Structure 1
């Protein structure tokens, strides 16, 4: 499998502990992702693995326009997923996936914006998908991500640690016919408070966002167009919009 994706997103209003801060900050991310994957059998279970490498740029604007931007490679992510239960007759599938993200991305301690995170991250995800009606499918998933220490955070190069970051998601997909499908997904992310030099930053994540997807199967592969953004965030920049175009081809 090979997948090529392009993502463009804008972040705007800054929130601190649920309060909107003054000013008009803006950060635009433009990113291309290459994903190489393969399906196989693992212990009698269907399995899938991939390696993903992003490259892109971050451009600050508005009240953040004085900050330097960033460009280059992002961190490399690898996935191994297995399906302990896969019932094609009822279209019910239960999957478990493990992620490993390596700090291969461009990073400079003195910059506020970076393409890389300068730390190793691991995540575990469980997901369930089943048919509600003949053409309507429901999915749900929960994951937890644990990150290692960034030993060069900020201009003083202090150590930054982060608590486990959790995400739950649920969504529906409607198959219009064998060629076209539509989907809608809701995400809730929480946790992930950081510590810098052992001092809690009171920046716990509490984020709600959505994603709408249109899917088309074509002779060259599966094409998907996604649009989404944040409903609300407790801390950080609110993502106003996100566009993603993906082309996936299986061999």
Structure 2
């Protein structure tokens, strides 16, 4: 794909135009500058589906294997709200240019089923954990998640759904935070109304949610709670040295948790140095 398309995406986002290149509906065939062939479904949820595609330009040059995520057709009553939510997801994720954030390259929000194209993941953290990971592998993966979430917080975004399924592994063993569907922009409080109308209760996955999140209260420290729950899920608790870090992340009162991801990173780094020695 290359930097040219990424440049187009960023410029259009700054201008407020979320449709970067009009490619057409999700189907095989020629669409504007590109065409893509649907290969297979990779996964689906309540509101969307992800498919593996092969992308080509109009000269039939193979650009590579990618993933396309598109919004499902739902009932007319909720369709408008879900389309706005999907547009927010695309805009926020595309604005996060970081090694440990999944990139978005192309999108079309004008068609009946809006979609975007991103890199194709080899697996997610959930699958890797089920297959068995070494302690070093877990530590490396969690460090990458910390890097991605810190970058988001620095930009004023809360993820609100940190869990293994939303951490994807790409070529070279690089893990990236993905799925911005529940992201909150701390600089735009009114945009939260879009999600509040869709989700009656707290947003997120219960096991990874901070106590206050069930009441609809989200801060950087609620994401930090989720990071602690992720460490626990990764069974880093088998090493006693990590227990204090997990405990501080997951304190019931948010004021007792780490004040920032940077503070968590520093404590985690010191702990790792005491556990893993070359």
Same topology, TM > 0.5: no
Which structure is richer in relative contact order (CA contacts within 8 A, separation 6 or more)?
Answer: 1
Question: Which one has the bigger strand percentage?
Answer: 1
- The normalised TM-score by structure 2 is 0.21
State TM-score, norm by structure 1.
Answer: 0.22
